Amino acid sequence: MNNRLLIAAFVSICFLSGSCKISSGQGSRYDFSSLDSVIQGWVDKGYYPGASICVVKNDTVIFQKNYRDYTPDTKVYVASAGKWVAAAVIGAVVDRTDLGWDDPVEKWLPEFKDDAKGKILLRQLLSHTSGVRPYLPEPRVDNYNHLDSAVTEILPLDTVFTPGTRFEYGGLAMQIAGRMAEVAMGEEFETLFQELLAQPLEMKNSHFTPINTDGGHAPMLGGGLCTTMNDYLHFLSMIYHDGMYNGKQIISAETVKEMQADQVKGAIIPSNNSDNYVAKGLGQSHNGIYGLGEWRELIDKKTGEAYQISSPGWAGAYPWINKHDKVYGFFISHVAGSSAKEDGFSSFFGSPVISRTVSEILKGKPLVVKQGRINVGNGSLYYEEAGQGEPIIFVHGHSLDHRMWDEQFLVFAKKYHVIRYDLRGYGISSSQTEDYQFMHVEDLVTLMDSLHIKKAHIVGLSLGGFITADMLAYFPDRMLSAFLASGNIRKSKGPSEPMTKEEAKVRDDEIAALKKKGVEVMKKEWFEGLMKSGGSQRERMRVPLWQMIDEWDAWQPLHKEVRVVAGLDAIEELKKSHPAVPALIVEGHSSDNKFSKNPPILEYLPNGKLKIIEDCGHMMNMERPEEFNAALEEFLINIEQ
């Protein structure tokens, strides 16, 4: 597969922006290989049986690809991705009738007049703030094809909180909202959908009924939409253009704006709410997380308006619009089940990987940056290089990738030949495999050989620091200097002592416990631990740090990894050699970040020193990049002198 992908031919989609149409495009100046690698990895691992994706920018398709047997017209039940469409149908009814967003249920459904639920407002029903329970009590399932029957089931149920006071994600309340629209318009919901949206938007292969009874696609409005990639893109085009499609106003611009506005407002979002997709999936902490039928993923801090909106489904469908990027796109698939479950993969919370990767791609790289891959053993490493001068190689930490060096890469490329790369098993380098023995330090030397680098300054943090220590132990002749941040010698057995049967049994138990606990829970705890270690500036790294951890496939904690760093073996080598390489051990000091003021490795480094950066934690290069860069620059200048 070429790094620069050609854009597949794509069926044009009409919409109004003057007389413009979505162009099929024959190529793109953007390199989508990183996104393609992510999706292909999901498919190869068995998470999805196939998939399709399309990304549109400035009314032109800039990336479209099908995986396995999927096509742009493959019909898929998209679960909660249908919430956005259902809310738009109701919005179209609001435009055409006396139905209003602030109407109470009892105004349109008289059977609720003597019920507390009768006071619930239409907007609360569509924003998960109504107090209606998320789903019917088990074992009952709301798989009704007619909303009057669904509402009859809901009527006797008690509310679980006072309307407008809490946010609780679910689908049952939308059934009541849909029934209000039916009464206002005098038609069943499927007819409303077909007449008000599907037909004018040319969504010829989409429907809410009949309901899929296989499980996970009920209730009707919250999870029952069946559609195709082509069809849903028509809908996204309409929303992106403020309700206009093919020269016609399908829903009013005011309705589109209302749907995207903060509807959670002062409602409490419980801190332990596992359904807070914006916090768990994107690492965002704003309160206005939901509009009407759509998530408000990213917020403009100046205006408070959402510039990225979405409606992901549990089964894998992910539609989104990013106004800043002038992009909308749709990923469509249906999770296969067993493989994803075994690995703790969540298609719902994993969805933002797609939009974030697209945004990163659109930022582009300066022309001075070269991207490539080099072969290592049974895999390959992705790398980037820029600048001229003495080589500096940045080695990233566990659960992260080359992007953790964003604040250093181009800064030092002004004076040095800078290289950053993804370790094997991380980022977009090749995956690891159990029982295949390799060492990260050997991969690093192979990278240097492939780039014809005889010696380099090696800068590593955390796991990268362990690898830098391994370089000092085994390949000091390939080093100009060593800069070891938040990690040096890993206090664990090295490859000289392979894993015993007893240790393997312990790892099996740990892996089983992790799968039971859930990988997403583990990631969140790991992330919060790194955040907690920081000082007063730690919030500046929240979003990029979570992005990398969220996108990490967590292969290492889910498998019996061979010993890929030397650990205590490195100490034995250093005792013999006492390498004269200039070395700086760097630690961050905060109330929650502990370190040794007398690191043992300095006993074996005659030209080694310790430096403390105050008011920061483990991820010092991301938390305090100015201080980190100054420390590295001073270290390099002193070596030159």
**Region class of 24: left (phi > 0), else alpha (psi between -120 and 50), else beta:** alpha
Instruction: Tell me what pLDDT residue 38 has.
Output: 86
Between CA 434 and CA 448 the distance in angstroms is 25
Residue 217 scores a pLDDT above 90: no
Weakest mean pLDDT among 187-191, 211-215, 541-545: 211-215
Rounded to 5 degrees, what are φ and ψ at 455? -140, 155
For residue 559, what are the CA distances in angstroms to 131, 514, 515, 568?
42, 11, 11, 22
Average pLDDT over residues 239-264: 98
SS3 544: helix
What percentage of the chain has pLDDT greater than the value 90?
Answer: 72
Between CA 135 and CA 137 the distance in angstroms is 6
Instruction: Tell me what pLDDT residue 341 has.
Output: 75
Average pLDDT score, the chain: 90
- Selected residue with higher pLDDT from 142 and 571: 571
Residue 368 scores a pLDDT above 70: no
pLDDT tens readout for residues 41-93? 899 889 999 999 999 999 899 999 999 999 999 999 999 999 999 999 999 99
Average pLDDT over residues 215-220: 80
Asked whether the beta carbons of 156 and 293 are under 8 A apart, the reply is no
Burial class (CB in 10 A: 0-12, 13-18, 19+), 76: buried
pLDDT tens readout for residues 261-273? 999 998 999 765 5
Residue 554: pLDDT band with limits 50, 70, 90: very high
Instruction: Fill in the DSSP letter of residue 434.
Output: T
Asked whether the beta carbons of 283 and 550 are under 8 A apart, the reply is yes
Report the Cα 136 to chain-centroid distance in Å.
30
Between CA 502 and CA 486 the distance in angstroms is 30
Cβ atoms within 10 A of the Cβ of 18, count?
6
Instruction: Tell me what pLDDT residue 140 has.
Output: 82
pLDDT tens readout for residues 95-125? 999 999 999 999 999 999 999 999 999 999 9
For residue 170, what are the CA distances in angstroms to 222, 335, 639?
8, 20, 60
Instruction: Fill in the DSSP letter of residue 166.
Output: B
Between CA 13 and CA 19 the distance in angstroms is 12
Could you write out the DSSP letters of every residue in 67-121?
A: ETT--TT--EE-TTHHHHHHHHHHHHHHHHSS--TT-BHHHH-GGGTTSGGGG-B
Q: What is the CA radius of gyration of the chain?
A: 27
Weakest mean pLDDT among 19-23, 82-86, 149-153, 329-333: 19-23
Residue 22 scores a pLDDT above 80: no
Q: Which residues pair with 329 in a beta bridge?
A: 55, 320
Per-residue exposure over 41-66, b if at least 16 CB sit within 10 Å of its own CB, e if not:
ebbebbbbebbbbbbbbebbbbbbbb
Domains of the chain: 76-362 (3.40.710.10), 370-640 (3.40.50.1820)
pLDDT tens readout for residues 123-159? 999 999 999 999 888 878 888 889 999 999 999 999 9
H or E element: which one contains 406?
Answer: helix 406-413
Q: Which positions ≥6 away from 102 have C-beta within 8 Å?
A: 121, 122, 123
pLDDT tens readout for residues 192-209? 999 999 999 999 999 999
H or E element: which one contains 347?
Answer: helix 347-350
